[in-house]
Structure 1
Amino acid sequence: MNRQPLVTCLASALCAFAVSPAIAQRVDYANSFDQALAGVFEAREKDWRDGAVVYQVYVDRFAPSANLDAKRALYPAPKRLHAWTDLPTHGVYLPEAKVWSHEIDFWGGDLQSLRGKLDYIQGLGADVLYLNPIDLAYTNHKYDTLDYRAVSPEYGTRDDARALARDVHARGMKIMLDGVFNHMGRNSPIFRQAEADPHSKYRDWFVFGPQYAGGARAWALAENLPELNLENPAVRDDLFNGHDSIVRGWLRDGMDGWRLDVAFDIGFKVLGELTQAAHDEKPGSLVVGEIANFPKEWYPSVDGLIHFTLRQVILGVAGGRIDAATGQQMIARIVQDADYEHILKSWVYLDNHDTVRLATALPDPAQRRLAQVLQFTLPGSPNLYYGTELDMPGGDDPEMRAPMRWDLVKADNPVLNWNKRLVALHKDNRALRVGNYRAITASKLIGFERYTDRAADTVVVLLNPSDMPVTDTVLVANSKLMDGTRMVNLLADKADPAALADTRLFAALMHLTLPAHGFAVLKPDVAPPGGYTNYKRVQ
């Protein structure tokens, strides 16, 4: 066969069509695929909300006040002020106050003391500081708002909040508040007025009736938390629509977004209005909803949500209650059924102020590590609850709200260093921050890849949630990963003989063994030593 004419012909795109329409069709497909991805990842990288690392602080319990004696008058009986070394315990119900005694136990943390710990938070690698409610309220948790526009005096003043926001921004970070807009506290002046006077202008701000315990509709039947009537336009104007509304005012004060308490109770329509108002006031602000439901239809009513379902799947897989195959299917379904741009803005959490702490939920360190690898590699924004990076334990409310263990913050703390390593892994890898998701075909392992328009960015994640070593052959369906590529384990630990060594990809397949509760986070070596790479024409 005379090869020269064919080579000459293939040099021409037009001739390529003539010689092989099928080849030309494949070239067109490859080009269109790359064009479809062009600019997508760059746009995501410019949006601080995508894949951000979030650090959550419960202000009363995070950092001890520098001058606690000067504040003691702010905690009158039946409130109690504890020593920082005390642990919270379940109390008794106080019928007159309509709260549990542990809801009004305090440890004295405030915004000023928090400002003194920003070096620590930044040192972890956090991009976003999220505060549990700081508005004026009777309890320590502040979910019973008395005045949305004021800061609880135990925490400081609104000027203190503005100063905190300035300090956070000076470090290149963002700050978010907790918005409790479904209900208020029963001692709020407007509720008291509405309750006492049927002709009050605030009467229709709540829902009264003899069918309700205490006379008013309350969230989850908690009489201390009367629900706002969000169908009333005046309520929505005060909360978020009006120029001087609560949502807009705090954004003007320097806050960058809102985490919305019990957002599933607020509903699609009102959430959509609130999110739009926040974006109108501060373009690029973030609204994240506490939504325990399946995520699919809650976007774009919110920018992102707190991943309740994903948390349950991760803990179930890591704890051995969900097998690998089922966990793989569940994760893929959660990601694929929801709008991906919003998935990247959603928070992947393993514990918070409402759940048992991770160290208590998964007492086995190996299971915890596996869960955290999933948290920091799946699409979304990893959310660290203060103290989780130190393996602080804590059971049900109020045990999970113990004061921060600053005595454990040491340079040689292996748990702290492991968490810093995970944060760095997430932030240093473009695909983990803003990349797409694709499930890996496996029979015994959980596996997925995060990928962008560049082969070098690809990260392949494989996990063995079982309590026995597992050997499996997996298919990585990434057309840009070249045959024979060495896959480097980013979490390999030379001090750990069980750590998976680097492996190779042959014809899109990898054959490997993972130890019990083992994992591998692999990245292709696209520039091996020696001067030759088969990635020279594949980017």
Structure 2
Amino acid sequence: MNFYAFHNSQEEAFRAPFGAVEEGAEVALSIITEGCQTVFLELVHFTGYSERIMMTKADYKELADDSRTINLGNDRELCLWRTEVVLQDTGIAHYYFVIEDNKRILYYGNNNEKLGGEGTLTEEKPIPFQITVYRPFDIPAWYREGIIYQIFVDRFFNGNEDGRIDNPKKNSFLYGTWEDEPMYIKNSKEEVVRWDFFGGNLKGVIKKLPYLKELGVTCIYLNPIFEAASNHKYDAADYKKIDPMFGDDDIFKELCTKAGDLGMKIVLDGVFSHTGADSIYFNRYGNYNSLGAYQSEDSPYYSWYQFRKHPDEYKCWWGFKNHPDVNELNNDYMNFIIKDKDSVVSKWMSLGASGWRLDVADELPDEFIKALRKKVKALNKEGVLIGEVWEDASNKVAYDVKREYFFGEELDSVTNYPFKDALLGFLRGDISSEYMRRKLMSLYENYPKEVFYSTMNLIGTHDTERVLTLLEERNHEKGKELLKMAIAFQMTFPGVPLIYYGDEAGMRGGRDPKNRATYPWGKEDQEMLHYYRKLTGLRKELDILKKGSLTFIDTEEDVVAFCREYQGEKLITAINRSGEARRLVINTDSPYPELRDLVSGEELYIDFTGSLLIERYGIKIIKVN
């Protein structure tokens, strides 16, 4: 197509302000085209209402000092078009440009990857750019500026002095030693017939609080701890009771109190989209002294569930009969979980929990999440609500419903799996540094800034293979070196770093259940543990890593680098996956004598392998490979 047009949604020369905006904000939009035709902005609001706005011509040379990505030194006749729009309604607003050129109509919209930034010129209606519009809300600083540690309780530590396993379950399998490799005992239908346990408990978490403090942890996220038949507890049997293998109310309260004394908060896993079939509420197997929904339509819990034909045909989570779905908007269920004075949420927060991570948030209606947030904040204005979402959560569509997670009335944070996929994809050699940067910049553009700085930045969880195992698949000898790069990136990037228990000890493991092995107490990889402590210490020490702005630095394919800046201070992180020396080139006007020896003209040249931090307020260069 012999025609030129350009817009970059991530440059303030073309869209100001950058990224998501508060409701009522004015946004200035610009585009450059070849020749001076008529250009319109097509703006589509969250409700679906669309309006076409004629843009005003300006002098394109006004962009000369503002744009990084457009080359204005060409022979084309270029025109700059501008307009301002006021975005009153919360939600996702979309836009693209309509260009009338000598009786033909062209369109300029988002790129095919929907990642924002530089767009694409087409002859058909394009993929639109996105602007997230939200109501302002505060996220507690203790969470936003913290470090999270995730614990799968059965596999972390047994706090009993004699090593006994508390209250073993009927027909369960107990491992002979703590070092055994986990396995499932299944029938021909791949159904678990005996759940396996190692004996970790809440007493064990309490005993290891000093270890977590030394690691730099400020928030402990516990996988589900309520009574359930399984070892993972995502099949709740009683929401108001700690599983007897883990402890009881008093032990949980003690954990919250002692963690608080050490500056740590406790976040619980809320599994509210389904219960267990083996539960007080459903009671399919008759193991509880209650009238369950499976047993009778007269059950007080019958209306919670969605039976097609009672009792054996019912809606269940992803087809698993052991996980019957609930109707979250059922009044009785809403009252039980959220609204009652003695609701599930009220009970555990009154005992010391500081927030919730919502399992499969996509399965929970927006109305349910809004009510839950309102309750959490009423109980504790410093409480947090985190959603498990595996994609870009700003524009998530689940079950044909456009979700409202970030509009100001629902989530404080989400699980940042796109961060994990981009970082590990780069380190494994699956994607280039440019594509990694584009993936992360898309999140920066789409998420409210408060949320972007509060995302749960994970590199491994109970649902993924161990990060070291993933990095060793392509090159076993480089695995630990690549993991160090991942840690350096994670601990210096905006967001809240999450450490999955044992990753800091160098644990390996494939898919479930191998990724849920026991913590190797006394057999940790001390080199890796030292490295984690070094980086968590740096993050806790420097406000720039918690509050600083983000700017990516142009690099070659094997290197990713970004700069954080806060109150006149700067810190640069660079990682080099190649295993060979690569050059990092940084424009600098540094007055520091320690840096002048490395500067040639206006640029800093550093050849390095592995990871590199350049702290420009001290100044010191930290090679962390």
Per the normalisation by structure 1, the TM-score is 0.79
State the match for 2:302 in structure 1.
203
**For residue 489 of structure 2, what is the amino acid of its counterpart?**
L
After superposition, the C-alpha distances for 1:181-223 in whole angstroms (9 at most, x for unaligned) are 111100112213212222333222011114x994111111111
Is 1:218 the counterpart of 2:316? The answer is yes
Give SS of 1:74's match: coil
Residues 171, 230 of structure 1: alpha-carbon distance in 2 compared, 3 angstrom cutoff: same
> How do 1:375-394 residues align onto structure 2 when only pairs under 5 Å count?
375-394=490-509
Q: Which residue, 147, 152, 155 being the options, matches 1:61?
A: 155
Residues 502 and 173 (structure 1 numbering): CA distance in 2 closer, same or farther, change over 3 Å? farther
Q: What amino acid is the match of 2:531?
A: W
> Is the CA contact 2:385–2:413 (under 8 Å) kept in the aligned structure 1?
yes
Q: In the aligned structure 2, how far is the partner of 1:134 from the partner of 1:502?
A: 56
- Asked if 1:130 corresponds to 2:221, the answer is yes
**CA apart distance, 1:150:** 0.3
SS at match of 1:258: strand
- In structure 2, do the counterparts of structure 1 residues 213 and 455 end up closer, same or farther at CA, with 3 Å as the change threshold? farther
Tell me the secondary structure at the aligned position of residue 281 of structure 2.
helix
Root-mean-square deviation over aligned CA pairs: 2.7
Structure 1: unaligned runs, 5 residues or longer: 1-25, 27-42, 477-481, 489-500, 529-539
After superposition, residues 16-165 of structure 1 pair within 5 angstroms as 47-66=141-160, 71=165, 74-93=168-187, 99-101=191-193, 104-165=195-256
Moved more, 261-270 or 392-401: 261-270
How far did residue 269 of structure 1 move?
3.3
Which residue does the alignment assign to 1:450? Answer: 564
Q: Distance in 2 between matches of 1:182 and 1:80?
A: 29
Q: Conserved in 1, the CA contact under 8 Å of 2:385 and 2:412? A: yes
Shift of residue 177, structure 1, vs aligned partner:
1.0
Name the CA shift for 1:472/1:345 in 2 (closer, same or farther; >3 Å).
closer
Measure how far apart 1:293 and its partner are. 2.0
Q: CA deviation at 1:462?
A: 2.0
Alignment partner of 1:339 is 2:433:
no
Cα gap change, 1:214/1:484 in structure 2, threshold over 3 Å: closer, same or farther? Answer: farther
8 Å Cα contact 1:58/1:132 also seen in 2: yes
Corresponding residue of 1:244:
342
CA, structure 1 residues 266+45, in 2 after alignment: closer, same or farther (shift >3 Å)? closer
Structure 1 residue 513 corresponds to structure 2 residue 611? no
Cα shift at 1:57: 1.1
Shift of 1:45: 11
Structure-2 separation of matches of 1:105 and 1:502: 60
In the alignment, what sits opposite 1:278? 376
The 3 A distance-change label for structure 1 pair 116 and 485 is same
Query: Where is the strand percentage greater, Structure 1 or Structure 2?
Result: 2
CA distance, structure 2, for counterparts of residue 376 and residue 527 of structure 1: 19
Change in Cα spacing, 1:424 to 1:502, as seen in structure 2 (3 Å) is farther
The answer to whether structure 1 residue 321 and structure 2 residue 461 are counterparts is no
**1: CA distance, partners of 2:188 / 2:205:** 31
Secondary structure (helix, strand or coil) at the match of 2:534 reads helix
Identity %: 26
Partner of 2:282, secondary structure, is helix
Contact persistence 2:594–2:619 (CA under 8 A): no
User: SS of 1:155's equivalent?
Assistant: coil
Give the match's secondary structure for 1:334.
helix
Call closer, same or farther: CA 1:504–1:213 in 2, change over 3 Å. farther
**2:572 corresponding residue in structure 1:** 460
Q: Is the contact made by 1:355 and 1:397 (CA closer than 8 Å) also made in structure 2?
A: yes
SS in 2 for 1:313: helix
Q: How far apart are 1:466 and its partner, in Å?
A: 3.3
Normalising by structure 2, report the TM-score. Answer: 0.69
Whole-Å Cα distance in 1 between the matches of residues 344 and 490 of structure 2? 33
Conserved? CA contact 1:451–1:459, under 8 Å: yes
Deviation track 1:456-514 (CA, whole Å, cap 9, x = no partner) reads: 2x2112222335432253457xxxxx4444687xxxxxxxxxxxx9944864x433333
Q: Give the unaligned 5+ runs of structure 2.
A: 1-64, 66-136, 284-291, 396-404, 473-478, 621-625
One-letter code of the match for 1:276?
K
2:441, 2:592 → 1: CA distance? Answer: 26
Question: What is the Cα deviation at residue 366 of structure 1?
Answer: 1.7
Q: What residue is the counterpart of 2:262 in the other structure?
A: 171
Query: How far is the alpha carbon of 1:83 from its aligned partner?
Result: 1.9
**1:129 to partner: Cα distance:** 1.2
Residue 196 of structure 1 aligns to a residue whose secondary structure is coil
Q: Residue 269 of structure 1: SS of its match in structure 2?
A: helix
2: CA distance, partners of 1:502 / 1:232? 69
**Does the CA-based 8 Å contact 1:487-1:524 persist in structure 2?**
no
Counterpart Cα distance in 2 of 1:68 and 1:124: 26
SS of the aligned residue for 2:143 comes to coil
Within-5 A mapping of 1:292-307: 292-297=390-395, 298-299=405-406, 300=408, 301-307=410-416
Distance, in Å, in 2 between the alignment partners of 1:399 and 1:105 is 13
Cα offset, 1:166, TM superposition: 0.7
Q: Any idea what SS the aligned residue of 1:48 has?
A: helix
Letter in 2 for 1:161: F
| Cα distance in structure 2, aligned partners of 1:505 and 1:422 | 30
Counterpart secondary structure, 1:231: coil
CA contact (8 A) 1:486 1:503 kept: no
Displacement, 1:67?
A: 5.1
* Deviation, structure 1 residue 526: 5.7
Distance 1:505 1:428 in 2: 31
Q: Per-residue deviation at 1:431? A: 1.2
Distance in 2 (CA, whole Å) between partners of 1:487 and 1:57 is: 43
Residue deviations 1:72-99, cap 9 Å, x none?
652332443442121102431387xx94
Contact 2:328 2:365 survives alignment (8 Å):
no
- Tell me what 2:552 maps to: 439
Write the distance in 1 (CA, Å) between the matches of 2:604 and 2:516: 44
Which residue type is aligned with residue 100 of structure 1?
V
In structure 1, give the amino acid aligned to 2:319.
Answer: L
1:426 shift after superposition: 1.2
Q: Which has the higher contact order (CA 8 A, sep 6+)?
A: 1
**Cα 1:321–1:67, aligned 2, differ >3 Å: closer, same or farther?**
same
Letter in 1 for 2:233: K
User: Residues 272 and 485 (structure 1 numbering): CA distance in 2 closer, same or farther, change over 3 Å?
Assistant: farther
Which stretch shows the higher mean deviation, 197-206 or 72-81? 72-81
1:323 counterpart letter in structure 2: S
Structure with bigger helix share is: 1
For these two proteins, the number of residue pairs brought into alignment is 459
Partner-residue secondary structure (3-state), 1:406: coil
Query: Structure 1 residues 502 and 168, CA, compared in 2 at 3 Å: closer, same or farther?
Result: farther
Give, in whole Å, the separation in 2 of the partners of 1:227 and 1:99: 18
* Mapped contact 1:260–1:287 kept (Cα < 8 A): yes
In structure 2, the partner of 1:19 is: none
